[in-house]
Amino acid sequence: MPDSLQYPFSDAPDPGSLIEVAPGIHWLRMPLPFALNHINLWLLEDADGWTLVDTGIGTEEVKGIWETLIAGPLSGQPIKRIIVTHFHPDHLGLAGWLSRRFDAPVLMTQLEYEQAVRLHDTSGNSRTEQQQRFFSSHGLGQTEVEEQSSSINVYRSRVPELPRGYQQLKDQDQIRIGSNCWQVIVGRGHSPEHMCLYCPELDVLIAGDQMLPTISPNISVTFMNPDSDPLSDYLASLKDLAKLPSSVKVLPAHGLVFYGLHQRVAALAEHHQDRLNLLLDACEKPKCAADVLSVLFNRTFGPHELFFAMGEAVAHLHHLVEDGLIQRQQDSQGVIRFLRMPI
Ligand SMILES: [Zn+2]
């Protein structure tokens, strides 16, 4: 299905340079120290300066690239406002630093700001304890559970400074940036209250992580909200995005700018349905989430990836529970198993 997408720019900008992707909208890219090795950010021409969407992870390397941008491509114009799509460190990481440097307000949705504060305040030991309990309950072996441990606050190491406050944006809010009006579209599932921005005049969608051209956004149940059903939220949010025109130019947080929103929505919905079907078959006999990793993924994982793989497995299982297709049972040791409902 990704082949049906069209990419108007064959290459992403080099670090420290900009590409104008629509009138007054500039693409920049920052490195990430993960398998997913980059994030796209967007600089929008505004009155007497720039509005920035997302900020990059809080490393010295990314700060250095910001210094290059500030010294050159930003043309001496200040960052006047910072919009953050969601709380993940690659998006929020340098918002506090940039906000203080430019005395620029940070605009976010309420749940994303609150989630960032909660993670910033959770010590490494407390997080480790909650995470290990969650993974043990889903059947992960003792060695792998013990690898899910950190004495430091990993979130804080990637988001070194939180913005001191924020201006709240809500679903359907309209904001004027430069000469254009942008509409806030809140999506759920990948994070609690993820913000996309749509500009009807330009027919451009800043999609954050809700809509990516070649990878499926991570939809995870985590220790923070262990009984949740984020996949139902995500699938509903996909339907909202599909109401936008098929002609829209999509600016994703990872990968290349693309056309083909409706095809991508269909491909992502199909991807999740395929996985749900596989899990339904696997749960003819009771299964823990750890047991079905091999059903969903044809590979093994290191500790960092395992966090996301387990989260994805539980998210799909909880969606099937919500649909009444499987039941969730917890034994006297606290281990959770899933079993297909009798037809
Ligand atoms: Zn994200």
Interval between CA 32 and ligand 1 midpoint (Å): 13
pLDDT digits (tens, 9 = 90+) for 24-83: 999 999 999 988 999 999 999 999 999 999 999 999 999 999 999 999 999 899 999 999
Cβ within 8 Å of residue 327, ≥6 positions away: 321, 338, 339, 341
Asked if pLDDT for residue 23 goes beyond 50, the answer is yes
Tell me whether strands 106-108 and 167-168 are parallel, antiparallel or unpaired: parallel
Q: What integer best gives the mean pLDDT of the chain?
A: 96
Q: What is the homologous superfamily of the domain 2-282 according to CATH? A: Ribonuclease Z/Hydroxyacylglutathione hydrolase-like (3.60.15.10)
Q: How confident is the model at residue 300 (pLDDT cuts 50, 70, 90)?
A: confident
Kindly report whether the global pTM for this prediction surpasses the value 0.75.
Answer: yes
Q: Nearest 10 degrees: CA dihedral of 86, 81, 20, 204?
A: 50
* CA–CA gap between residue 78 and residue 163 (Å, rounded): 17
Q: How confident is the model at residue 3 (pLDDT cuts 50, 70, 90)?
A: low
Interval between CA 311 and ligand 1 midpoint (Å): 14
- The rounded Cα 232 to chain-centroid distance in angstroms is 16
* CA–CA gap between residue 90 and residue 53 (Å, rounded): 12
In this prediction, residue 25 carries a pLDDT of 98
Interval between CA 333 and ligand 1 midpoint (Å): 33
Interval between CA 41 and ligand 1 midpoint (Å): 13
Interval between CA 190 and ligand 1 midpoint (Å): 6
In this prediction, residue 20 carries a pLDDT of 98
Measured in degrees and rounded to the nearest 5, phi and psi for residue 175 equal: -130, 140
Interval between CA 218 and ligand 1 midpoint (Å): 7
In this prediction, residue 54 carries a pLDDT of 98
Share of the chain above pLDDT 70, in %: 99
pLDDT digits (tens, 9 = 90+) for 178-221: 999 999 999 999 999 999 999 999 999 999 999 999 999 999 99
* CA–CA gap between residue 290 and residue 136 (Å, rounded): 9
Asked if pLDDT for residue 281 goes beyond 90, the answer is yes
Give the closest residue to 252 by CA, choosing from 203, 217, 201.
217
Cβ atoms of 32 and 55 within 8 Å: the answer is no
Interval between CA 100 and ligand 1 midpoint (Å): 23
Cβ atoms of 281 and 317 within 8 Å: the answer is no
Interval between CA 93 and ligand 1 midpoint (Å): 12
Interval between CA 48 and ligand 1 midpoint (Å): 30
Sign of the dihedral defined by the CA atoms of residues 146, 152, 155, 157, in that order: negative
In this prediction, residue 16 carries a pLDDT of 94
Average pLDDT over residues 217-233: 96
Average pLDDT over residues 161-189: 97
N-to-C CA span, the chain: 33
Interval between CA 285 and ligand 1 midpoint (Å): 34
Distances (CA, A) of 224 to 20, 29, 122, 127, 146: 39, 30, 11, 9, 18
- DSSP H or E run through 74: none
* CA–CA gap between residue 304 and residue 185 (Å, rounded): 30
Interval between CA 56 and ligand 1 midpoint (Å): 12
Average pLDDT over residues 295-315: 91
Measured in degrees and rounded to the nearest 5, phi and psi for residue 265 equal: -60, -45
Q: How confident is the model at residue 299 (pLDDT cuts 50, 70, 90)?
A: confident
Interval between CA 156 and ligand 1 midpoint (Å): 16
Share of the chain above pLDDT 90, in %: 93
* CA–CA gap between residue 229 and residue 40 (Å, rounded): 28
Q: Please report, for the chain, the start and end positions of each structural domain, with discontinuous segments joined by +.
A: 2-282
| 3-state helix vs strand vs coil in the chain, percent to 5 | 35, 20, 40
Interval between CA 86 and ligand 1 midpoint (Å): 7
In this prediction, residue 2 carries a pLDDT of 47
DSSP 269-289: HHHHHHHHHHHHHHTTS-B-T
* CA–CA gap between residue 76 and residue 14 (Å, rounded): 20
Q: How confident is the model at residue 304 (pLDDT cuts 50, 70, 90)?
A: confident
pLDDT digits (tens, 9 = 90+) for 108-150: 999 999 999 999 999 999 999 999 999 999 999 999 999 988 8
